[in-house]
Structure formats: structure tokens, C-alpha cells
Amino acid sequence: MRVLILGIDGYLGWALALRLVRRGHEVIGIDNFYTRKAVTEVGSDSALPILPMQDRIRAVEEVFGARIEFIEGDVTNYDLMRKVIDRYKPDTIVHFAEQRSAPYSMIDVDHAKYTIINNLTSTLNVVYAVREVRRDIHILKMGTLGEYGYPAFRIPEDAFIDAVIQGVRDRIVVPRWAGSWYHWSKVFDSYMLLYANRLWGLTITDFHQGLCMGLGPRT
């Protein structure tokens, strides 16, 4: 299988790339290294050393005997997205290329605008490029349970629910109530993906992750 990972330099993107390569899949990646810049901007660092991309690719070749094709670029550039998809024609596109920090999105208006514009533009570019190049590409998109906030009702597995509003029954999208500009960008992502699926029949998996916290056994 040929997989295009958007945001391959990130924590999730690189781990997924290694797993796929180990299983014999062909991997292509795009990244603009914005997360590295943002981490430096806020005066932070990684708990583990992160090698430059070329060193990472070289290590993959040495350990797995496989080559990761890497393109440095911005997924908000539609021409780039279309050219890469047209050239490699992946079976699957995994979209991790978003500003993914809620606190970062709340710093000020510039960080909020960057988060909204980057995240929504990149998702829109992906669905349009797939529509125009090859509609059978499977899009996998990272969402978040933070889209729902903390509702009193149990969040269903389905994206839709049967609702009764002013005595009228209809099937609607599960209500969302996000807690940051980042989370609101993910809410609109979900709506765009649902709409692209209904409009063009694209195959899209929008998977929502959440934090799992608890206490270990007492000694």
C-alpha cells in the first residue's frame, strides 16, 4: 500500500511512518516543520532528541532498507497538494498537518488566526485534490473528542443522532461545543469531511482521540 502522510515530521506522523515502513508499505511524507518552529517560539523543547529529517530518512534506510519519499512544503498550498497526489497517487492519505495545540491557539489573535486558517485550508485542499485526482483514495483525518466538550449525554459512536426539536424528529450531527480555537477548527473539519462524503462520495475516516488518564495500582 502507498500512504501519503501529511505532517510526517510530527510525533504521530513519524511514528506512523516507521510502523508502515516496517510492515512493508510505501511511505511519502509532506511537512513544513512548523511544529519545530512553534516549540522554539514558546521556549520549549522535546523530551527526546528529534533528528533533522534527512538524518531520520537515512536511519530508516539503514534499519529497514526502505526509502521514505519526503517533500518539504505547506499543505495549505493547493497546487503542491494536487501535484504530490497526482504524482504518487497514494492509496491512503493520513492528514496530521494541522496546528494541534489548544493552548497555542489561545495565545492571541495571530495564533488563533493561524490555527483556523491552517487547519481548515489544509483539510479543504485534501478533499478537493482527492476529488480532482482520484476519488478512491481513502482519507484518514485526525479529529479530537474535544470537539464535543463535556456533554451530559453519552457521546455516541455514530456521527449522527436522531433528535426531536420542537416536536419534529430528524437525523442531525451530534452537537459539538469546543473549548478552544483549535478545537473549533476541528469541529469545522468534521463538518467539511461529512459534507465532502455526502457531496462527492469520498471515502473518509475521521477518527477522534481522547486522553486516557488514571491511577496505577497502589503499593
pLDDT at 213 over 80: no
Please check the confidence at residue 207 and state whether its pLDDT lies above 50.
yes
Residue the block writes with cell 467539511: 192
Active-site entry in 186, 191, 195, 219 = 186
**Catalytic residue at 186?**
yes
Mean per-residue pLDDT, 149-176: 92
> Per-residue pLDDT tens for 87-136?
999 999 999 999 999 999 999 999 999 999 999 999 999 999 999 999 99
pTM over 0.75: yes
Helices (H), 29-77: 34-41, 53-64
- The C-alpha torsion from 199 through 3 and 83 to 132, rounded to 10°, is -20
Is 182 assigned a catalytic role?
yes
Is residue 144 flagged as an active site residue?
yes
The pLDDT, as a whole number, for residue 215 is: 54
Residue 212: per-residue pLDDT: 63
Q: Cβ–Cβ contacts within 10 Å for residue 174, how many?
A: 17
Q: What's the mean pLDDT in 48-62?
A: 94
Q: What local confidence, expressed as pLDDT, does residue 209 receive?
A: 81
**Active-site pick, 144, 148, 150, 195:** 144
